[in-house]
Structure 1
Amino acid sequence: MQEKFFEQMKNGKGFIAALDQSGGSTPKALAAYGVPESEYSTEAEMFDLVHEMRTRIITSPSFDSEHILGAILFEQTMDRKIEGQYTGDYLANEKGIVPFLKVDKGLADISDGVQKMKPIDDLDDKLERANKRGMFGTKMRSVIKEANHDGIKEVVDQQFEIGKKIIDAGLVPIIEPEVDIHSADKEQSEELLKQEIKKHLDQLAENEFVMLKLSVPTVANHYQELIDHPQVVRVVALSGGYSRDEANQKLKDNEGLIASFSRALTENLNVSQSDEEFHAALKEAVESIYDASVNK
């Protein structure tokens, strides 16, 4: 299955759906879906509701492998079932979509203009469970706020240090050092980031592969060298706070860069929609993001 997934991710047409909001971002995701915090009183109730939302998305006929290559899951989503199958198995078996697991535990405080990842003290356990649950790879996010060379180097070093452990566990890491789209020196940050990533890519062995998830660059095709690198399976772009229309438009200017959108994918979905309305809204989102990813 891993070889099939690898081929799909390397050469398939489409994008990655990011359905990996965690404990901190789940209330916001539910509110955007029309479920206010007054609708639940415990964390368990909250996670039940978000799983209902994700199940509705994943089981929709609009969520298909013709447009979607992969989906990134939150840990609880991986461990829950959809129609009697673990979510990763449902994605692979029923939808033909490659499953990934978000493994980071959120962001540390800002230091040197960046937010590194908090320690992932249970990484080995997560990777073992990810393999049991049929995941192809993982995802972990850091954030770059300023063009600070030391900070950006620390972010990339941390990402690749953990990334190597993920590779050793037989999984493909999505390395995500996001550059804040509101950063005053975003273009300079992206240049420093590209240099640091390239150094690490050049040190990987021939059988070691990563994916990259990056903010859409200020200068079109800035990451082409990374897209073409032999150790990179795919480079995907996050929407980063842009509306779907803005994110799609910027994505179209970058050859070989595909989407991995979260909020931009689900922004017009609502719990009160009929199934027909929901499927139509999701179909419109999926097709527009697909077009931005492949039509260049």
Structure 2
Amino acid sequence: MKNETLEQIAASIVAPNKGILAADESSPTIKKRFDSINAESTEENRRDYREMLFKTKNISEYVSGVILFHETVYQNDSKGTPLIKILTDQGIVPGIKVDKGAKPLAGHPNETITEGLDGLRERLDEYAQAGTKFTKWRAVISIANSTPSDYCIEANAHALARFARLSQEAGLVPIVEPEVLMDGTHSIDECYKVTESVLTQVYDQLARSKVDLKGTLLKPNMVLSGKSAENRAAPEEVAQATVSCFKNTVPDTVPGIVFLSGGQSDNEATVNLDAINKYAIETGAPWELSFSYGRGLQAAPLNAWRGEKNNMAKAQSVFFQRAFVTSAARNGAYSPSMEAV
């Protein structure tokens, strides 16, 4: 019964037209975002900002789930209603980031291992009691002259698998996020090779941990050129490389892939997602191909809000527009003309 429920939750998160709002920024990260608009990162401001996003009228047309940070799980809105209830009342599935961040990997300079497995079983039970339905764990892989090492890939894949198995035992859908960073000058071919290696190892470890893939989702990077590469690949190349890489590595039983925006601009994240879905429709792909965007959905409304209650309606309008455009891209139906508000 628990596995059936996990399947149902996973399917609802990748329902047609919809995707995930990643609102799981840690306190230091949200402070950086607020600094960029000259707003103080107080608990009240963080609450007001997230309340603005979650209360956007009809946002459930395009947002199926929201990844929360620990603070937000237990936060109430300005009228005392739990933020989780505001989401569930709209049919939006609340989730929680449960890793403790990427830390230096001993013996491997410039590589990281994600921590947070200690005490995870107990924390998962608490989050399930609080009303969350899914979890997320991020592994960080960088491409440089000597990285990533096989050991770094294996260690992070092993941690992802342990996290996923523990999540399912707690009745929570794990979103597995192995991110190959786009920082660097690498080519799209190099990104393809590393992403293929990472995903192969991740699904090997998930199988060994006896994770039920039908009750999971994958949150990967797109296969892209490095951000500082001289000749960056066009959206059509990104689409072909991404879909091809995943067909080689991701089992058909995985219900959906929710791409991270990974530091792409709003426009780049949208255009690439659209190209990926167009190509997947043409060539046939077994999974839903959706989005789990943080900056890709939040950058515009954050700039519109600027920490001012008077700007809330404007910020919500901008957020709804970004969600609408991203939903169109998720269906392979995006057009630049949609950008006009």
Assess same fold via TM > 0.5: yes
Match of 1:77 among 72, 78, 89: 72
Are the aligned partners of 1:73 and 1:102 in contact in 2 as well (CA < 8 Å)?
yes
Structure 1 residue 259 and structure 2 residue 291: aligned?
yes
Give the Cα–Cα distance (whole angstroms) in 2 for the partners of residues 226 and 220 of structure 1. 11
Q: What is the SS of the residue equivalent to 1:215?
A: coil
Are 1:148 and 1:189, in contact at CA under 8 Å, matched by a contact in 2? no
- Residue aligning to 1:190: 195
Higher helix residue share: 2
Q: What do you get for the CA RMSD once the two structures are aligned?
A: 2.3
Amino acid at match of 2:177: E
Deviations along 1:226-260, one digit per CA (max 9) or x if unpaired, are 56521x23211111111010011111222342111
When the two structures are superposed, what TM-score results if normalisation uses the length of structure 2? 0.76
What aligned pairs does 1:110-259 form with structure 2 within 5 A after superposition? 110=105, 111=108, 114-146=111-143, 147-183=148-184, 184=186, 185-203=190-208, 204=210, 206=212, 209-218=215-224, 219-221=241-243, 222-224=245-247, 229-230=252-253, 232-254=254-276, 255=280, 256-259=288-291
* Structure 1 stretches lacking a partner, 5+ long: 41-45
Deviation of residue 277 (structure 1)? 1.8
Which residue number corresponds to residue 83 of structure 2? 87
Aligned to 1:43: none
Q: CA separation of 1:92/1:27 partners in 2, compared to 1, >3 Å: closer, same or farther?
A: same
Q: How many percent of aligned residue pairs carry the same amino acid?
A: 23
Amino acid at match of 2:294: S
* Aligned-pair CA distance for 1:124: 2.8
2:324 to 263, 287, 294: 287
Is the alpha carbon distance of 1:4 and 1:189 closer, same or farther for their aligned partners in structure 2, counting shifts above 3 Å?
closer
The CA distance in 1 between the partners of 2:298 and 2:213, in whole Å, is 36
Give the superposition deviation at 1:205: 5.5
**Is the Cα contact below 8 Å between 2:271 and 2:329 reproduced in 1?**
yes
Structure 1 counterpart of 2:337: none
Partners of 1:16 and 1:259 lie apart in 2 by 6
Q: Within 1, Cα distance between the matches of 2:257 and 2:156?
A: 18
SS of 2:159's partner is helix
Partner secondary structure for residue 141 of structure 1:
strand
Instruction: Report deviation, 1:282.
Output: 1.0
Tell me the residue number matched to 1:24. 28
Distance 1:115 1:68 in 2: 31
Which among 57, 62, 70 is matched to residue 67 of structure 1? 62
Structure 2: state its 5+ residue gaps: 225-240, 281-287, 334-341
In structure 2, distance between residues paired with 1:210 and 1:2: 8
Contact 1:9 1:233 in 2 (8 A): no
Residue 338 of structure 2 corresponds to none
Deviates more, 1:205-214 or 1:174-183: 205-214
Asked whether the equivalents of residues 138 and 173 of structure 1 are also in contact (C-alpha less than 8 Å), the reply is: yes
SS in 2 for 1:85: coil
Farther off after superposition, 163-172 or 215-224: 215-224
Aligned residues: 285
Structure 1 residue matching 2:328: 3-state secondary structure:
helix
Residue of structure 1 in register with 2:228 after alignment = none
Q: Deviations over 1:104-153 (max 9, x none)?
A: 11110153663211234332332122111211111111100034222111
